[in-house]
Amino acid sequence: MAGIETIQNPIDLAVIVLYLIGMLGIGWYGYRKTKGVLEEFLVAGRDIPMWMYIPVMSTVVLGGASTIGGGGLGYEHGLSGAWLVIMLGLGLIGLGFLISTKLVNLRAYSLGEVLTRRYDRKSGTIGALVTALYALTISITQVIAIGKVLQSLLGYDQSTMIVVAGIIVVAYTFLGGMVSVTITDFVQWIIMTVGIFVLAIPLGLMEVGGLSAVQAELDPSYFNPTAIGLETIGGFFLLYVLGIMIGQDIWQRTWTADSPETGKKGNIIAGSYCVVYGVATAFLGMLAIMVVGPGMSDPELALPEMILQVVPVGFAGLILAGFISAMMSTADATLLASSTLLTNDIYREFVEPDASERRQTRVSRGILLGLGLIAIIIAVEIGGVVEALTLAYDILSGAIFVPIFGAFFWKRATWQGAFTSIIVSTIVIFASIWYYGLFANMPIILGLIASFVVFVAVSLVTEPNEEKLDQWTSDLETPPEV
Q: Is the pLDDT of residue 2 over 50?
A: no
Tens of pLDDT along 368-425? 999 999 888 888 876 555 566 677 778 788 889 999 999 999 999 999 999 999 999 9
Contacts of 115 (CB under 8 A, 6+ apart): 123, 124, 127, 128, 403, 404, 407, 418
Specify the pTM: 0.89
Largest CA distance in the chain: 68
State the Cα–Cα distance between residues 406 and 340, nearest whole angstrom: 23
Residue 255 has a pLDDT of 95
Residue 356 lies in a domain: yes
CB 83 within 8 A of CB 236: yes
Residue 417 lies in a domain: no
Q: Is the pLDDT of residue 125 over 80?
A: yes
Measured in whole angstroms, the distance separating CA 382 from the mean position of its chain's CA atoms is: 18
CB atoms within 10 A of CB 210: 11
Residue 467 lies in a domain: no
Name residue 48's beta-bridge partners.
257
3-state helix, strand, coil in the chain (%, to 5): 85, 0, 15
Over residues 189-214, the mean pLDDT reads: 89
- Stated as kind and residue range, the H or E segment containing 154 is helix 121-154
State the Cα–Cα distance between residues 307 and 311, nearest whole angstrom: 6
Q: Is the pLDDT of residue 6 over 70?
A: no
Tens of pLDDT along 68-100? 778 889 999 999 999 999 999 999 999 999 999
CB 443 within 8 A of CB 394: yes
Residue 56 has a pLDDT of 93
Residue 160 lies in a domain: yes
Contacts of 169 (CB under 8 A, 6+ apart): 139, 142, 143, 146, 328, 331, 332, 335, 372
Specify the length of the chain in residues. Answer: 482
Q: Is the pLDDT of residue 3 over 60?
A: no
Residue 99 lies in a domain: yes
Tens of pLDDT along 465-482? 888 899 999 988 887 764
Residue 462 lies in a domain: no
71, 366, 426 from 4: Cα distances, Å:
16, 39, 40
Overall domain count for the chain: 1
State the Cα–Cα distance between residues 86 and 156, nearest whole angstrom: 33
State the Cα–Cα distance between residues 23 and 25, nearest whole angstrom: 5
* 266 or 323, which is more confident: 266
Residue 4 has a pLDDT of 47
Domain limits for position 181: 18-386
Residue 366 has a pLDDT of 92
What percent of the chain has pLDDT above 90? 43
346, 393, 400 from 132: Cα distances, Å:
11, 12, 12
102, 105, 257, 366 from 475: Cα distances, Å:
8, 7, 17, 31
State the Cα–Cα distance between residues 149 and 153, nearest whole angstrom: 6
State the Cα–Cα distance between residues 456 and 413, nearest whole angstrom: 7
Task: Give the CATH number, domain containing residue 371.
Answer: 1.20.1730.10
Residue 360 has a pLDDT of 87
Nearest to 288 by CA among 70, 91, 117, 469: 70
Name residue 257's beta-bridge partners.
48
Tens of pLDDT along 35-44? 657 788 889 8
Residue 179 lies in a domain: yes
State the Cα–Cα distance between residues 262 and 258, nearest whole angstrom: 7
Tens of pLDDT along 95-124? 999 999 999 999 999 999 999 999 988 889
Nearest to 328 by CA among 11, 22, 96, 7: 22
Residue 259 has a pLDDT of 94
State the Cα–Cα distance between residues 46 and 256, nearest whole angstrom: 4
What percent of the chain has pLDDT above 70? 94
Over residues 433-451, the mean pLDDT reads: 89
225, 324, 404 from 150: Cα distances, Å:
31, 8, 38
- DSSP character string of 58-83: HHHHSSHIIIIIHHHHHHHHGGGGGH
Q: Is the pLDDT of residue 363 over 60?
A: yes
Least-confidence region, from 223-232, 245-254, 381-390: 381-390
* 322 or 347, which is more confident: 347
CB atoms within 10 A of CB 409: 10
CB 345 within 8 A of CB 120: no
3-state secondary structure of 48: strand
Over residues 318-333, the mean pLDDT reads: 76
Q: Is the pLDDT of residue 268 over 70?
A: yes
State the Cα–Cα distance between residues 271 and 86, nearest whole angstrom: 9
CB 321 within 8 A of CB 165: no
Residue 7 lies in a domain: no
Residue 389 has a pLDDT of 65
Tens of pLDDT along 270-311? 999 999 999 999 999 999 999 888 878 778 778 878 887 887
Residue 228 has a pLDDT of 94
State the Cα–Cα distance between residues 237 and 260, nearest whole angstrom: 26
Residue 19 has a pLDDT of 79
